[in-house]
Amino acid sequence: MRIRVTTRDLSVLKVDLAVCFAAEGDRRPRGLADAAVLRSLGNRMKSEGFRGRAGDRLIWNPDGGAGPGRYLIVGLGKHPGAPGEALRRATLAATRDAADFIAGRIAIGLPEISGQSTLECARAVIEGARAGAYQFDRHLTDDSRRRTPVTALTLAVPEATAGAARKAVRHGEITSDATDLARDLVNEAPSRLTPSVFARQATKVARASGLQCKVLAQADLRRLGMSALLEVSRGTRQPPRVVHLKYVPKGRARRQRIVLVGKGVTFDSGGLNLKPGDSMTYMKADMAGAAAVLAAMSALRDAGCRAEVHGLLGLVENLTGGDAYKPGDILDTYAGKTVEVGNTDAEGRLVLCDLLAWAAAKLKPTAMVDVATLTGACVVALGPAASGLFTRHDEMRDALAAAAAASGEKLWPMPMYEEYLQLLQKGPADLCNIGGRWGGAITAALFLGEFVPRELPWAHLDIAGPAFNDTEFGGMPGAATGAAAPTLIRWLESV
């Protein structure tokens, strides 16, 4: 999708579809200035009883004229002030509608929203439009099942805001490119994205985005002592990989060294504690944390991040082969702690614990964040739209929550009650990898916390809910969403 900014009025643009917006109570749409067209659109809103509720849409076909072939008014709801969310959703819906109208060239009139900057509004519009236009169609051989792609998008803005709008477009495109990458990886079939294929992809992405990249194979991992990660991988013939990406900012002195760790289980069958069929359906998405980390890393140079950032992808497949690890096994870990396997389906924490401990010891970060589709319990707690944010550091909590809010992602603070640690301290080893029935997202986070030094600011994002939608829930189309990539990029832009 080619995106450009214009200061000409929406009503004079020669496009297939012109998109403008109206909030509840608006009598005319926002985002264009031509008095005659505004009047026509206002009349149409009135005669159709259009109320501007979130999700409402209204089409107007002007007869003739040199401007747009069609107008689409999208409702913003009651309080479009919430950071970028209403606008992002509305543009997402608009670009999805564009496909139905076979509109390849569209224009969007940037609406003014009180309390929000042009920069934020324009970025929300671009990110929403790109998210709506995304499709995973590489395996379709029948073109009729493909949606009409939006090939050109013109953002119409008032003269005074053109500079800010151009900057917003650039950042919106950088974030969207990254998010699309994460979505492509998560949507890909598990047989086509094994740990070694994922690692090769990461190498390519690194080359294209100015990152250093090292791929660790099984022998390297054995030498390093990443025993827990290797145990998870025993039930499959696919060899595991750990990818170590490194971004070094140009020029400026680096004050911070940040480590991102992603869970990359390319397929999670549950292992010998086999998942029931329905629960296994979308387990190709169990590498969404690693996808988000790779995606965020790919954006850092262009986004102008000023910190040194490392990305670690823990890539394994969790299957049931003859040599699979078993309930009751006692594992060694990189950190030296022993772990009893209570359930082979709690594999994510075993992959992450070695990477977290290794990164803390060897990379000496100033802050560390891990991203993982870690627990079904987090989905039970927060529902499918929100990720859980676990940290003992108030500053990390505030910074990540702010980055998520600005990105239109839902990230909700969860507790790390110390006393629940006892739930993991049972049996013959230092820790058990399951904590019992209740508070599963919290005990998982506490487990990880045992492998991170207390003084290191660390946060854990459980993205099990939003990483993958099995329906078209909340306007985000079915399948992969790229969850956490936008938030990580925002956060890393600001550090």
The answer to whether 356 and 368 are in contact (CB under 8 A) is yes
240: partner contacted, choices Zn ion, Mn ion, ligand BES, none (Cβ within 5-8 A by kind): none
Cα 299 from Cα 489, distance rounded (Å): 7
Please report, for residues 229, 329, 339, the alpha-carbon distance to residue 428 in angstroms, rounded to integers and kept in the order given: 20, 10, 9
Does residue 317 belong to the site contacting Mn ion (CB under 5 A)? no
Q: Which residue in the shown chain puts its C-beta closest to Zn ion?
A: 268
Q: Is 275 a catalytic residue?
A: yes
Q: Which residue in the shown chain puts its C-beta closest to Mn ion?
A: 345
Task: Find the binder of ligand BES among 95, 176, 233, 373 (CB under 6 A).
Answer: 373
For residue 408, give the 3-state DSSP assignment. Answer: coil
Stretch that binds ligand BES, among 89-97, 294-302, 369-377, 391-399 (CB under 6 A): 369-377
Site for ligand BES in 206-235 (CB under 6 A): none
Task: Find the binder of ligand BES among 345, 370, 450, 493 (CB under 6 A).
Answer: 345
Choose between 172 and 466: whose C-beta lies nearer to ligand BES. 466
Half-sphere exposure of 334 (CA within 13 A, CB side): 27
The 458-462 sheet, strands edge to edge? 212-216, 241-247, 308-318, 257-268, 367-372, 458-462, 386-391, 410-414
- The nearest distance, CB 339 to Mn ion, in angstroms, is 15
Beta strands in 236-303 (DSSP E): 241-247, 257-268
Site for Mn ion in 350-409 (CB under 5 A): none
Stretch that binds Mn ion, among 4-12, 64-72, 263-271, 464-472 (CB under 5 A): 263-271
For residue 58, give the 3-state DSSP assignment. Answer: strand
Choose between 43 and 425: whose C-beta lies nearer to ligand BES. 425
Choose between 67 and 348: whose C-beta lies nearer to Zn ion. 348
**DSSP tally for the chain: helices H, then strands E:** 14, 19
Q: What contacts 38, CB < 8 A, 6 or more positions away?
A: 28, 29, 32
- The nearest distance, CB 341 to Zn ion, in angstroms, is 14
Q: How many residues does the chain have?
A: 495
- The nearest distance, CB 224 to ligand BES, in angstroms, is 23
Does residue 286 belong to the site contacting ligand BES (CB under 6 A)? yes
Choose between 121 and 261: whose C-beta lies nearer to ligand BES. 261
Nearest 5 degrees, angle CA 162-CA 75-CA 379?
A: 100
Cα 259 from Cα 296, distance rounded (Å): 12
Task: Find the binder of ligand BES among 268, 370, 409, 450 (CB under 6 A).
Answer: 268
Q: Is 14 a catalytic residue?
A: no
Residue numbers at the binding site for Zn ion (CB under 5 A): 265, 268, 286, 348
Stretch that binds Mn ion, among 48-56, 260-268, 307-315, 434-442 (CB under 5 A): 260-268
Stretch that binds Mn ion, among 122-130, 141-149, 261-269, 323-331 (CB under 5 A): 261-269
Q: Is 50 left (phi over 0), alpha (psi -120 to 50) or beta?
A: beta
Task: Find the binder of Mn ion among 188, 345, 354, 450 (CB under 5 A).
Answer: 345
- The nearest distance, CB 262 to Zn ion, in angstroms, is 12
Cα 299 from Cα 139, distance rounded (Å): 26
Does residue 493 belong to the site contacting Mn ion (CB under 5 A)? no
Torsion sign over Cα 244, 217, 197, 478: negative
Catalytic annotation, pick one of 275, 301, 326, 426: 275
Choose between 87 and 290: whose C-beta lies nearer to ligand BES. 290
Half-sphere exposure of 33 (CA within 13 A, CB side): 9
User: Burial code of 44-73, b = ≥16 C-beta within 10 A, e = fewer?
Assistant: bbeeeebebebebebebebeeeebbebbbb
343: partner contacted, choices Zn ion, Mn ion, ligand BES, none (Cβ within 5-8 A by kind): ligand BES
377: partner contacted, choices Mn ion, Zn ion, ligand BES, none (Cβ within 5-8 A by kind): ligand BES
User: Burial code of 21-36, b = ≥16 C-beta within 10 A, e = fewer?
Assistant: bbbeebebbbbbeeee
Q: Which residue in the shown chain puts its C-beta closest to ligand BES?
A: 376
Structure token digits, residue 328: 């009751």
Site for ligand BES in 432-471 (CB under 6 A): 434, 440, 464
Task: Find the binder of Mn ion among 127, 268, 308, 462 (CB under 5 A).
Answer: 268
Give the binding site for Mn ion (CB under 5 A): 268, 345, 347
Give the binding site for ligand BES (CB under 6 A): 268, 286, 343, 345-348, 373-377, 379, 434, 440, 464
Residues designated catalytic: 275, 349
